[in-house]
């Protein structure tokens, strides 16, 4: 069987080339009594998805920016330059959140840690319109949970679906799958969408991982001068990181794929796209001089302006096409 494409997934581990479903039966035990206790956390290569960051930053009472700076390292998810983050480790690859007694953030540990030694992937078949949720197994020398003799009664033979419930990972999947879908869509759209600009990549990072910064961006006069977002939505996303993340996904689907769900101010679209072409061009050139591609610390206002410009231009183009079509019908 061909190896599934898991290039968007967290692990550089030895995953087994077999796509699993929820019905797959497994026998695995992990508890403080296992001979390999903490071994996985001592070789940690944990990619974080957006909802993981929300849970961890809340647990550690940090802002997203503080958490990202202190506990993560960036990595390039794909050849188009999408940036993700992994948990920071020490030089021996020990997770910084590990203690001798186990995980210090256990109740809010990332989805990858909950799944291990399994993993989640979105599989999109060429003909299918939507992706399917599938799983894979990871086999690593250090993990003895598969051959553990002291199985707890409840861990003897369970389906992957039951394992997911035990690990309380369903909530994580609910909010992280949209992020996987965004990446799958970007990947499968290929040249029709084109390689994302550095500004789009940075907005993608901000709207998924650096939510406190994203909140500042969408609260800025600049954003509000272009988009119409009602007070009720603002109140909700200001006080709820999950709602903010979901708004971020909407914004990204709009600016990356033209799925319009956030209203643009028509008059501003027209006026600004006419007036500011030259300013944007000059600013873009200046930004390209300064922007460090691997450094997610950027000015959200500046990068956001670029992405909003693209969204406005798409809108203007669509309006132009509509007018042309109408004229064609009259004749
Ligand atoms: S977050 Fe917790 S479970 Fe995950 S690698 Fe670190 S210590 Fe281990
Ligand atoms: S059984 Fe596997 S997952 Fe559990 S502590 Fe050991 S290495 Fe980690």
**Residues 93, 74: Cα–Cα separation, whole Å:** 15
User: Tokens at residue 96, please?
Assistant: 């910084």
The residue to mutate among 57, 103, 106, having the most atoms of ligand 1 within 8 angstroms of its beta carbon, is 103
Q: Are residues 225 and 103 in the same domain?
A: no
Q: Are residues 241 and 282 in the same domain?
A: yes
290: CA distance to ligand 1 center in Å?
Answer: 36
pLDDT digits (tens, 9 = 90+) for 174-205: 999 999 888 888 776 655 555 677 888 889 99
Which numbered ligand comes closest to the C-alpha of 96?
1
Residues with a CB atom less than 6 Å from ligand 1: 41, 44, 46, 87, 95, 97-98, 103, 105, 109-110, 113
Q: Are residues 132 and 175 in the same domain?
A: yes
Nearest to 47 by CA among 138, 108, 119, 100: 119
pLDDT band (50, 70, 90) for residue 270: confident
SS3 282: helix
**Residues 43, 138: Cα–Cα separation, whole Å:** 14
Q: Is residue 1 part of a domain?
A: no
182: CA distance to ligand 1 center in Å?
Answer: 26
Pairing, β 47-48 against β 15-20: unpaired
Q: Are residues 253 and 176 in the same domain?
A: no
| DSSP code string of 169-225 | -HHHHHHHHHHHHHHHHHHHHGGGT-SPPHHHHHHHHHHHT-HHHHHHHHHSHHHHT
Length of the chain equals: 331
pLDDT digits (tens, 9 = 90+) for 113-169: 999 988 887 655 555 555 567 888 888 889 988 876 665 655 567 899 999 999 999
**Residues 298, 320: Cα–Cα separation, whole Å:** 34
Q: What is the pLDDT of residue 18?
A: 79
53: CA distance to ligand 2 center in Å?
Answer: 22
Q: What is the pLDDT of residue 149?
A: 61
Q: Are residues 159 and 288 in the same domain?
A: no
Q: What is the pLDDT of residue 180?
A: 87
Q: Whose CA is nearest to atom 1 of ligand 2?
A: 145
Rg (CA), the chain: 22
79: CA distance to ligand 2 center in Å?
Answer: 32
**Cβ(36) – ligand 2 distance below 6 Å:** yes
Q: Are 83 and 201 in contact (CB under 8 A)?
A: yes
Which numbered ligand comes closest to the C-alpha of 60?
1
Q: Are 82 and 76 in contact (CB under 8 A)?
A: yes
Which residues on adjacent β-strands are paired with residue 133? 122
**Cβ(145) – ligand 2 distance below 6 Å:** yes
**Residues 130, 134: Cα–Cα separation, whole Å:** 13
Q: Are residues 87 and 211 in the same domain?
A: no
Closest ligand 1 atom to 95 CA:
6
44: CA distance to ligand 1 center in Å?
Answer: 7
Q: Are residues 24 and 167 in the same domain?
A: yes
Which numbered ligand comes closest to the C-alpha of 42?
1
Query: What are the angstrom distances between the C-alpha of 140 and each of 18, 116, 144, 150?
Result: 15, 10, 8, 19
Q: Are residues 227 and 294 in the same domain?
A: yes
Q: Is residue 191 part of a domain?
A: no
Q: Are residues 164 and 82 in the same domain?
A: yes
Closest ligand 1 atom to 106 CA:
2
Q: Are residues 209 and 171 in the same domain?
A: no
Q: Is residue 96 part of a domain?
A: yes
Query: What are the angstrom distances between the C-alpha of 136 and each of 19, 82, 123, 179, 214?
Result: 5, 23, 11, 19, 33
Which numbered ligand comes closest to the C-alpha of 41?
1
**Mean pLDDT score, 89-101:** 96
Q: Are residues 231 and 131 in the same domain?
A: no
Owning domain of residue 167: 15-184
Number of domains in the chain: 2
Helix, strand, coil in percent for the chain, rounding step 5? 50, 15, 35
Q: Are residues 26 and 97 in the same domain?
A: yes
198: CA distance to ligand 1 center in Å?
Answer: 31
Q: What φ, ψ does residue 242 adopt, rounded to 5°?
A: -70, -40
Mean pLDDT across the chain, nearest whole number? 81
The residue to mutate among 93, 110, 138, having the most atoms of ligand 1 within 8 angstroms of its beta carbon, is 110
Q: Is residue 219 part of a domain?
A: yes
Q: Is residue 264 part of a domain?
A: yes
């Amino acid at each position: 069987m061909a190896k599934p494409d898991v290039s968007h997934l967290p692990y550089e581990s030895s995953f087994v080339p077999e796509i699993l479903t929820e019905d797959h039966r497994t026998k695995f035990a992990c508890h403080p009594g296992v001979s390999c206790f903490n071994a996985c956390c001592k070789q940690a290569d944990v990619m974080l998805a957006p909802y993981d960051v929300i849970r961890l930053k809340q647990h550690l009472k940090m802002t997203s920016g503080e958490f990202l700076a202190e506990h993560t390292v960036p990595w390039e998810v794909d050849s188009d330059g999408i940036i993700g983050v992994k948990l920071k480790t020490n030089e021996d690859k020990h997770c910084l959140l590990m203690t001798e007694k186990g995980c210090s953030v256990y109740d809010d540990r990332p989805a990858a840690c909950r799944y291990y030694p399994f993993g989640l992937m979105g599989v999109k078949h060429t003909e299918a319109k939507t992706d399917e949720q599938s799983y894979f197994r990871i086999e690593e020398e250090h993990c003895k949970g598969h051959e553990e003799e002291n199985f707890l009664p409840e861990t003897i033979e369970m389906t992957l679906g039951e394992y997911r419930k035990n690990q309380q990972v369903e909530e994580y999947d609910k909010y992280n799958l949209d992020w996987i879908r965004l990446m799958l869509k970007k990947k499968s759209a290929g040249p029709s969408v084109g390689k994302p600009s550095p500004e789009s990549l940075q907005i993608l990072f901000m709207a998924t991982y650096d939510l406190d910064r994203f909140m500042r961006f969408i609260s800025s006069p600049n954003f509000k001068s272009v988009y119409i977002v009602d007070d009720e939505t603002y109140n909700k996303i200001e006080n709820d990181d999950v709602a903010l993340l979901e708004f971020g996904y909407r914004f990204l689907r709009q600016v990356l794929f033209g799925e319009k769900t956030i209203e643009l101010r028509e008059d501003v679209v027209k006026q600004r796209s006419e007036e500011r072409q030259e300013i944007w061009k000059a600013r873009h050139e200046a930004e390209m001089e300064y922007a460090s591609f691997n450094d997610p610390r950027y000015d959200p206002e500046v990068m956001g302006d670029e992405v909003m410009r693209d969204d406005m231009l798409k809108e203007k183009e669509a309006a132009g096409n509509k007018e042309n079509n109408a004229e064609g019908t009259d004749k």
